[in-house]
Amino acid sequence: MLKALNSSCFRSRLHNLAPSFRPATESESPLLRVLGSLRGLGGRSTRLTCRAFFCSDANDVSAREAEIEAKVKEEDVEVKSSSAIVSTNPRPEDYLTVLALPLPHRPLFPGFYMPIYVKDPKLLAALQESRRRQAPYAGAFLLKDEPGTDSSTVSGSETEKNTSDLTGKELYDRLHEVGTLAQISSIQGDQVVLIGHRRLRITEMVSEDPLTVKVDHLKDKPYNKDDNVIKATSFEVISTLRDVLKTSSLWRDHVQTYTQHIGDFNFPRLADFGAAISGANKVQCQEVLEELDVYKRLKITLELLKKEMEINKIQESIAKAIEEKISGEQRRYLLNEQLKAIKKELGLETDDKTALSAKFRERLEPVKDKCPQHVAQVIEEELAKLQLLEASSSEFNVTRNYLDWLTVLPWGVYSDENFDVLGAQKILDEDHYGLTDVKERILEFIAVGKLRGSSQGKIICLSGPPGVGKTSIGRSIARALNRKFFRFSVGGLVDVAEIKGHRRTYIGAMPGKMVQCLKSVGTANPLVLIDEIDKLGRGHAGDPASALLELLDPEQNANFLDHYLDVPIDLSKVLFVCTANVIEMIPNPLLDRMEVIAIAGYITDEKMHIARDYLEKATREACGIKPEQVEVTDAALLGLIENYCREAGVRNLQKHIEKIYRKIALHLVRNGASNEAELAEIVESNEEKADIVDESSKSSSGSESQVDGELIDESSQDQKIESSAEAEKISSDLLADDSLPNQPVDAKDDESDVTNKVEKVIVDSTNLADYVGKPVFHAERIYNQIPVGVVMGLAWTAMGGSTLYIETTQVEQGEGKGALHITGQLGDVMKESAQIAHTLARAILLEKEPDNPFFANTKLHLHVPAGATPKDGPSAGCTMMTSLLSLAMKKPVKKDLAMTGEVTLTGKILPIGGVKEKTIAARRSEVKTIIFPSANRRDFDELASNVKEGLDVHFVDEYSQIFNLAFEDKSE
């Protein structure tokens, strides 16, 4: 029976009743004295602002209920359904069949209230009907978890959803057997407020919709109130409650409300109260509800309260730690702000310096663990120094700039390298055709790095003529290795400070190129391309080539010292790639630290592939031309390569291809503009003709005579005939293109047709000169039939290999007039070669033809054509000597023959350089037979098969072998 209402007036009336109507207090009981102290913690004068419903055991207070009801009737107090005690006639224990209400979260304990939401409309209607029939009781049973699910991981919304879906037998199977008889206090919408009375046990199901069950009313097992064990356990529960109540105001409100409306605690109520307000899960609470042994129930409750106490202690420690942390940070923040204000008043510090220091420290934070110790120490010293300097002083700006550079460098930051050999091979093949030597060297570098697990920096020098792709190869290597790329050219560099940096004391001082590179790329293992290293200058500011020694020396660059930073920098992980046209121009100490990879150039077949697969495609896209609009034939490309672009590289070839496509673009645009003008004229004329047709048709229809249905105006008839002729003409104009007859043709169709009328541009060998002009080169074979005294030689130039003729002729002849005159802008080495050849030729002629005094009595003139081009080198001796002997013996040399090599006074043949370039030059000049020194046999064998294909190569050690080959002497 409910003992108290939430109405304050009714509560005051209860307190004003006679003492006989109030619950008797057993002040002599020590348990209740302790509970009385518990009750006083909340303060009796405190007003409760929330509604609370509690009930007591109906058997204990049945007499007092009757007296209270009688008193209420006498005062004619009207009790509303939302707040009054519902009549309990018949008594609660008389209800043996009740509606089953599922509780999803926690069980309902006797003496406590619980609001629930009923989604089932039939069940809600049944509850309302029971309340109207003065039978406001139902059974509240905890819902079991769904099999195979964890109750700790299921959200409340999911549980309520599952509960609302259960009905009938399925719901009955999911209910716990032990529940609570609950009084229906109020129903507002779908919210039902329940008040627990006593424990129930389900015996059987009566009906399914709504679920109705038969129940047995449970009572606590008998116990001895004077049992010391029970008393001790209850005292411990009370002591734990008091400890918890000291930390939680919510618990104090629970105790106050409970004692005001229920009365003093006894052992069963104490156990239920502790379990109900604890934070235990629903399974543990259900265990307390099902336990009928009061002692065991007290023990379970004590365990739950002890756990709650431990949780409160952990909560207090967490709160204390957070509070101390927050208070410490706040204290430090306040002190820092006060320090800033004091220093600002004294002029010791400005806000700019603080911001700068914070910025520098923020930059350094990501690489703090990787930064070398000596660098971190320098940074800290400079930061401390910055705080003591005046912002207006010159030293302040120097220190600020110095810290800016120190903190922006990627100390210990490395990019992830690619050790995939196949992937790197694919990237290199995509970017470049040929260049097998370079690609193999890069793949070797990747393979070594993969086996070692890490890569070390190397210094590679790519040497070759201009335009062979040295710079682009460096960029492709960086992409294949997944490294950052940085390029700087040292061509014409005369200032050492560009490499080593300036001293910080100089105005406008800056670090060197390597420090700038590291700042730009953001990693400590980039690929650095040093371009044109063979064109280093030397001025008053020092020798840059010597300054590069420390940068490129693998033994020294791990501690490279920049003059500006003045701290060692590790460059051992950097991959340096240098480019040069002529390695002879590189100082030997610097060249000694490099690994030279020679790129000789491209033969005609390679140039064709490069032009077709790379250059033409890129140029076409750059010019905005579609592939179907233009076609450059293989014959045109071959003519372009042979007659316009004979150099070793492909840069000039790219320029000529761009020139062709620019002219094609202009041709397409001009045709498009003329077609647009033609289209506009066609559309305009069509509109005019259509107007004429409309007017003529109208006039003809209006001028027809309707008199007797037979007479027709002659003038209108003539006009009609003319109009029909005009219409036929317009139709024929509109259908002049490929469109189908009897279909409407609009301006858009005309435009598309005109666009289709633009013919595809075909560039062939016949019209190549219209795009790139007259051929620059002609066949290098000046002579179809080699005359006496003329021999073809093979030469190496900075642009690749080339062939040149050496010509010798007779000036005058007379006794003792033997002499040699040399022209062709020859260098000292070639002049010496000519003198050696003249001397040795006299000896060989004397051996072959003892009676021939040609050299003794003849003044000779030896000339190398293209006199405007300087020529020098130690590989023309054999050619000059053969030219002299050809003239002396009046025998021409073998057809399609070219030779190279230096000769000594004893007739030995010395090795030469540029084997690949000279071989390419021989193929370009359609040479069939080549004479090389025997020392160059291995160099020739290493050439690609397509380079040496179709050539008859002879290797000689002495000039006598050349003599036999050149003059078709078959004796040997």
* Token code pair at residue 409: 């460098």
Could you tell me if 426 and 492 lie in one domain?
yes
**Cα-Cα end-to-end distance for the chain:** 139
Tell me what the mean pLDDT of segment 516-524 comes to: 90
State the angle between helix axes of 228-245 and 30-40 in degrees (0 to 180), rounded to the nearest 10: 10
Give the 3-state secondary structure of residue 620: helix
Residue 340 counted as an annotated binding residue? no
User: Which of 598, 614, 642 finishes a domain?
Assistant: 598
Alpha-carbon distance 882 to 903, whole Å? 11
- Could you tell me if residue 286 is inside a domain? no
- Could you tell me if residue 430 is inside a domain? yes
Structure confidence at residue 67 (pLDDT): 45
Structure confidence at residue 153 (pLDDT): 53
pLDDT tier, 159 (very low <50, low <70, confident <90, very high otherwise): low
Could you tell me if 371 and 472 lie in one domain?
no
Q: Is residue 971 scored above 70 in pLDDT?
A: no
- Could you tell me if residue 593 is inside a domain? yes
pLDDT tier, 333 (very low <50, low <70, confident <90, very high otherwise): confident
Q: Is residue 616 scored above 80 in pLDDT?
A: yes
3-state secondary structure 670-709: HHHHHHHHHHHHHHHHHHHHHHHHHHHHHHHHHHCCCHHH
Structure confidence at residue 282 (pLDDT): 76
Structure confidence at residue 758 (pLDDT): 54
The mean pLDDT of the chain is: 75
Could you tell me if 532 and 554 lie in one domain?
yes
Radius of gyration of the chain (CA): 55
User: Which of 217, 238, 253 finishes a domain?
Assistant: 217
Strands 929-933 and 897-899 come out as: parallel
Could you tell me if 485 and 547 lie in one domain?
yes
Structure confidence at residue 93 (pLDDT): 66
Residue span of the structural domain in which 441 resides: 421-598
Least confident interval from 49-58, 259-268, 369-378, 951-960 = 49-58
Between 61 and 395, the higher pLDDT residue: 395
- Could you tell me if residue 402 is inside a domain? yes
Tell me what the mean pLDDT of segment 378-386 comes to: 87
Q: Is residue 743 scored above 70 in pLDDT?
A: no
Q: Per-residue pLDDT tens for 415-467?
A: 888 888 888 888 888 888 878 888 888 888 888 888 887 777 788 899 888 88
Tell me what the mean pLDDT of segment 642-657 comes to: 86
Give the 3-state secondary structure of residue 832: helix
**Active site (annotated) includes residue 918:** yes
Residue 816 counted as an annotated binding residue? no
Structure confidence at residue 351 (pLDDT): 57
* Token code pair at residue 223: 């116990």
Could you tell me if 624 and 578 lie in one domain?
no
Q: For 461, phi and psi rounded to 5 degrees?
A: -115, 120
Tell me what the mean pLDDT of segment 328-354 comes to: 76
* Token code pair at residue 415: 């990019």
Catalytic residue, from 476, 918, 925, 948: name it.
918
Could you tell me if 195 and 135 lie in one domain?
yes
> Which residue(s) pair with 880 in the sheet?
none
Q: For 548, phi and psi rounded to 5 degrees?
A: -75, -15
Structure confidence at residue 836 (pLDDT): 92
Q: How many domains does the chain have?
A: 5
Task: List the beta strands (DSSP E) in 702-789.
Answer: 761-763
- Could you tell me if residue 379 is inside a domain? yes
Structure confidence at residue 530 (pLDDT): 92
Give the 3-state secondary structure of residue 658: helix
pLDDT tier, 14 (very low <50, low <70, confident <90, very high otherwise): very low
Catalytic residue, from 802, 875, 886, 925: name it.
875
Could you tell me if 513 and 576 lie in one domain?
yes
Sign of CA dihedral 632, 635, 639, 641: positive
Alpha-carbon distance 580 to 464, whole Å? 7
Residue 471 counted as an annotated binding residue? yes
Could you tell me if 634 and 571 lie in one domain?
no
Domain CATH for 948? 3.30.230.10
Tell me what the mean pLDDT of segment 351-366 comes to: 80
Percentages of the chain per state (helix, strand, coil), in multiples of 5: 50, 15, 35
Residue 470 counted as an annotated binding residue? yes
Q: Is residue 377 scored above 80 in pLDDT?
A: yes
Whole-number Cα distances in Å, 617 to 124, 627, 658, 769: 80, 9, 11, 21
Cβ(805)–Cβ(865) below 8 Å: yes
Residue 577 counted as an annotated binding residue? no
Structure confidence at residue 19 (pLDDT): 36
Cβ(374)–Cβ(567) below 8 Å: yes
pLDDT tier, 278 (very low <50, low <70, confident <90, very high otherwise): confident
pLDDT tier, 837 (very low <50, low <70, confident <90, very high otherwise): very high
Alpha-carbon distance 855 to 839, whole Å? 9
Could you tell me if 105 and 193 lie in one domain?
yes
Q: Is residue 538 scored above 60 in pLDDT?
A: yes
Q: For 866, phi and psi rounded to 5 degrees?
A: 60, 60
- Could you tell me if residue 246 is inside a domain? no
Could you tell me if 884 and 922 lie in one domain?
yes
Q: Per-residue pLDDT tens for 90-145?
A: 676 667 788 888 888 888 888 777 888 888 788 888 888 788 777 688 888 888 87
Q: Is residue 737 scored above 60 in pLDDT?
A: no
Q: Is residue 163 scored above 90 in pLDDT?
A: no
Could you tell me if 830 and 944 lie in one domain?
yes
User: Which of 668, 689, 723 finishes a domain?
Assistant: 668
Could you tell me if 629 and 572 lie in one domain?
no
Q: Is residue 760 scored above 70 in pLDDT?
A: yes
Angle at 900 between CA 897 and CA 905, to 5 degrees: 120
Q: Is residue 877 scored above 80 in pLDDT?
A: yes
Cβ(547)–Cβ(501) below 8 Å: no
- Could you tell me if residue 318 is inside a domain? no
Q: Is residue 754 scored above 70 in pLDDT?
A: no
The alpha helices in 211-293, defined as continuous H runs, are 228-245, 249-261, 267-277, 282-290
Least confident interval from 71-85, 195-209, 263-277, 454-468 = 71-85
Does this model's pTM top 0.85? My answer is no
- Could you tell me if residue 782 is inside a domain? no
Residue 466 counted as an annotated binding residue? yes
